[in-house]
Amino acid sequence: APAPAVPGADEERIPLTPIRRLIAENMVKSATLIPQAWTTVEVDVSGLIQRRQAVRAEFQEREGINITYLPFVIKALAESLKENPLLNSSWGGDSIILKKRINIGVAMATSEGLMVPVIHNADTLSIA
């Protein structure tokens, strides 16, 4: 019979950086305190593709970078939140907290870990 495994012999523990600890704590908090829900919707984005193509060259010339689909998605999300304010809310334990401002965080993986820059008042901004 094989020898019993020594606890931790086939594992390595990597200490958490402060930012990774904060991310982990917030993920646990999110999963335990915030009601979870999801849905899937199929969307025809041919108009979005055409719009991006129409502004692509001018944007590249003006800004020096290629425009992606992300700014269009964020703009559509901001408009949707403005039209449906209940979606721009959070759980407050015994109440729902409606947010007055539309701030959208965009999660990005970096070499330092997950970063979430926030676009404040996104509904008041243009794509370019």
**Residue at 87 is within a domain:** yes
Residue 86: give the domain boundaries: 69-128
- The amino acid that residue 37 corresponds to is A
The whole model's pTM is what?
0.71
**Residue at 18 is within a domain:** no
**Residue at 78 is within a domain:** yes
**Residue at 16 is within a domain:** no
**What is the rounded CA–CA span in Å between residue 90 and residue 100?**
12
**Structural domain tally of the chain?**
1
- 91 Cβ neighbours under 8 A, 6+ residues apart: 33, 34, 35, 97
**Residue at 13 is within a domain:** no
**Residue at 40 is within a domain:** no
Ranges under pLDDT 50 in the chain: none
